[in-house]
Chains A and B, each alone.
Chain A
């Protein structure tokens, strides 16, 4: 368990009568980029919300490095895990710098900044890492969709956690910004040693940018491992219920329509 960032054991969850998970077990390794893939309704978003304390399991636990996340205070969780959700809104007049500064909220004590210098340093680092330093004073609403997504990632980075969770970070972006975001994710992993867990819709992006993929189908894990080891057309048929061809491009699997 020592090098697992998330350990999920015996996890059950249902929406009213609709059972999503029953006794799910899963371990995600520290230091990797792991992507959850699956068809709509496979449970990947529900799993994401259970891992991020937005839903409570009806049975079983989600452990973060051995500690039950159900027992962690939201604020302590926010220091360990940064999350970028799919939908985000900000007041029109809020500047990039201020929004990124919100990422320091978990470190405030009694409504005041605990360490202004550290806050400043982390915000600067987050802005530079995401290439937003030149937009710092601009309002978030003046940015393009791709730049705005970087702002939300920068806010998460300012939290200073070693774990980053992303829910479909590329969904509303055109392809150029999609790749832009995914390259940033890889860089965060390789340069800063961040553990990344994300949900992606595009299977090729998942295969290309992940160290490990976890494939879900009807609330069960059907495969977990490095893309080149596990991805076959049988697996994809099981996951997406459609036949696809898998070819190898530069040693990585690539999926084509038949």
Chain B
């Protein structure tokens, strides 16, 4: 069992690390500020350097943090809903469904740009229901979900890449969604992400107890008054909302929703209330770290955070898959 002290330590250490990383991220690039200068520039008096950083770097940093938190929580919920530790919104096609919808809106109906998150959510739900129904055979085998999900994801990603290639540089917002590029984001993007992300997180906290109960056998959960199928759909829908909103702003990020909950379970245990709250911090940390590394490692060029996540997440996924094979006996 994970002791309360260890849980508290995990929260504090991760929060401090996130704060430290925030300052590193703020100072990564051609302009640099000290913490004092930053504080003064933000809250006391106008400062040219701070103002530039505020307009260009802050939105990106905050978007990475909120997007990371939303994606990580989405992974926690999805894994609980389909009782599958390998479920990740990126791997099973939800993100690609969401970003395809976002790309289509951006390319063909620019007037509806304001509603992109809603379309992304619809796209994510379509992908999820497709995977869910195609892999259902009297039950959900964890590996079948992954296989079907990878196929659905490949299909959507393929269509999307086709749009990305054919629209070329004329529609840079399409391209940035396809590549999951966080550069050139504004405070407006952040506000949209934060608003929907907060709604998703609040909804997530309402269903954490149900997530706990779904970890038991279906019949046992039913005997406690949980309509298992209905709750699976409800929890999945919240997961899809969180993944889709993040995808609509950042683009598809794979493996984050897999890696963060996995580490979180090791550090704070399997109770979903704690797991969701901790995944908010750790998810924010991981995506900001990936983005900051992507900005520095090959400067002046940038590697997208999604690429960094895939390089780190791929091996973790393989390890998880090997573990799952032994425990599910497939």
Chain A 138-169: CB-based contact to B (< 8 A → 1; otherwise 0): 11000000000000100010010000000000
Does B216 count as interface, using CB distance less than 8 angstroms?
A: yes
Does A103 count as interface, using CB distance less than 8 angstroms?
A: yes
Does B33 count as interface, using CB distance less than 8 angstroms?
A: no
Give chain A nearest CB distance to B51 CB in angstroms.
43
B223 and A52 contacting across the interface, CB-CB below 8 Å: yes
Does A222 count as interface, using CB distance less than 8 angstroms?
A: no
Q: How many angstroms between the C-alpha atoms of A75 and B224 in the bound complex?
A: 7
A85 and B206 contacting across the interface, CB-CB below 8 Å: no
Does A105 count as interface, using CB distance less than 8 angstroms?
A: yes
Is the interface on chain B under 10, 10 to 19, 20 to 34, or 35 or more residues? 20 to 34
Among listed B35-43, B107-115, B207-215, interface-contacting one: B207-215
B226 and A105 contacting across the interface, CB-CB below 8 Å: yes
A89 and B222 contacting across the interface, CB-CB below 8 Å: no
Contact of B269 among A76, A77, A93, A108 (CB under 8 A): A93
A105 and B224 contacting across the interface, CB-CB below 8 Å: yes
Q: A85-B220, A108-B209, A111-B206 are in contact. Are A94 and B270 (CB under 8 A)?
A: yes
Q: How many angstroms between the C-alpha atoms of A82 and B223 in the bound complex?
A: 7
Does B2 count as interface, using CB distance less than 8 angstroms?
A: yes
Q: How many angstroms between the C-alpha atoms of A85 and B206 in the bound complex?
A: 27
B206 CB contacts on chain A under 8 angstroms:
111
B207 CB contacts on chain A under 8 angstroms:
111
Does A83 count as interface, using CB distance less than 8 angstroms?
A: yes
Give chain A nearest CB distance to B38 CB in angstroms.
40
Residue of B nearest to A53 (CB): B222
Residue of A nearest to B212 (CB): A102
Does B219 count as interface, using CB distance less than 8 angstroms?
A: yes
B213 and A102 contacting across the interface, CB-CB below 8 Å: yes
Residue of A nearest to B269 (CB): A93
B216 and A103 contacting across the interface, CB-CB below 8 Å: no
Does A78 count as interface, using CB distance less than 8 angstroms?
A: yes
Does B5 count as interface, using CB distance less than 8 angstroms?
A: no
Does A60 count as interface, using CB distance less than 8 angstroms?
A: no
Q: How many angstroms between the C-alpha atoms of A105 and B220 in the bound complex?
A: 12
Residue of B nearest to A156 (CB): B223
Q: A85-B219, A88-B217 are in contact. Are A93 and B225 (CB under 8 A)?
A: no
A87 CB contacts on chain B under 8 angstroms:
217, 219
B44 CB contacts on chain A under 8 angstroms:
none
Q: A94-B270, A105-B226, A139-B1 are in contact. Are A88 and B220 (CB under 8 A)?
A: yes
Q: A85-B217, A88-B216 are in contact. Are A102 and B224 (CB under 8 A)?
A: yes
A94 CB contacts on chain B under 8 angstroms:
270-271
Contact of A93 among B1, B219, B226 (CB under 8 A): B1
Residue of B nearest to A75 (CB): B225
Does B227 count as interface, using CB distance less than 8 angstroms?
A: yes
B1 CB contacts on chain A under 8 angstroms:
93, 95, 138-139
A: number of interface residues (CB 8 Å): 35
Residue of B nearest to A152 (CB): B220
B222 CB contacts on chain A under 8 angstroms:
53-54, 74
B209 and A105 contacting across the interface, CB-CB below 8 Å: yes
Does A251 count as interface, using CB distance less than 8 angstroms?
A: no
Q: A85-B217, A105-B213, A108-B209 are in contact. Are A93 and B224 (CB under 8 A)?
A: no
A159 and B224 contacting across the interface, CB-CB below 8 Å: yes
Q: How many angstroms between the C-alpha atoms of A74 and B227 in the bound complex?
A: 7
A89 CB contacts on chain B under 8 angstroms:
215-217
B220 CB contacts on chain A under 8 angstroms:
83, 85, 88, 152
B226 CB contacts on chain A under 8 angstroms:
74, 105
Does A106 count as interface, using CB distance less than 8 angstroms?
A: yes
A152 CB contacts on chain B under 8 angstroms:
220
Chain B 8-40: CB-based contact to A (< 8 A → 1; otherwise 0): 000000000000000000000000000000000
A91 and B215 contacting across the interface, CB-CB below 8 Å: yes
Q: Give A78-125 interface residues, CB cut-off 8 Å to B.
A: 78-79, 82-85, 87-95, 98, 102-103, 105-106, 108, 111
- A84, A88, A94, A95 — which one has the most chain B CB atoms within 10 A of its CB? A94
Q: How many angstroms between the C-alpha atoms of A72 and B270 in the bound complex?
A: 32
Give chain B nearest CB distance to A87 CB in angstroms.
6
B209 CB contacts on chain A under 8 angstroms:
105, 108, 111
B223 and A93 contacting across the interface, CB-CB below 8 Å: no
A102 CB contacts on chain B under 8 angstroms:
212-213, 216, 224
Q: Give B203-250 interface residues, CB cut-off 8 Å to A.
A: 206-207, 209, 212-213, 215-217, 219-220, 222-227
B216 and A93 contacting across the interface, CB-CB below 8 Å: no
Contact of B2 among A84, A90, A93, A159 (CB under 8 A): A93
Q: How many angstroms between the C-alpha atoms of A108 and B213 in the bound complex?
A: 13
Q: How many angstroms between the C-alpha atoms of A90 and B213 in the bound complex?
A: 9
B271 CB contacts on chain A under 8 angstroms:
94, 98
Q: A75-B225, A77-B225, A83-B220 are in contact. List 16 more A-B contacts (CB 8 A).
A: A54-B219, A74-B227, A78-B225, A83-B219, A87-B219, A88-B216, A91-B270, A92-B270, A93-B2, A94-B270, A94-B271, A102-B224, A105-B213, A106-B224, A111-B209, A156-B223
A-B contact pairs, 9 of them (CB 8 A): A77-B225, A78-B223, A78-B224, A85-B217, A89-B215, A94-B270, A105-B224, A108-B209, A111-B207
**Chain A residues within 8 Å of B, Cβ to Cβ:** 52-54, 73-79, 82-85, 87-95, 98, 102-103, 105-106, 108, 111, 138-139, 152, 156, 159
Nearest first, the 9 A-B pairs at minimum CB distance are: A75-B225, A78-B225, A83-B223, A106-B225, A91-B270, A85-B219, A105-B224, A111-B206, A74-B225
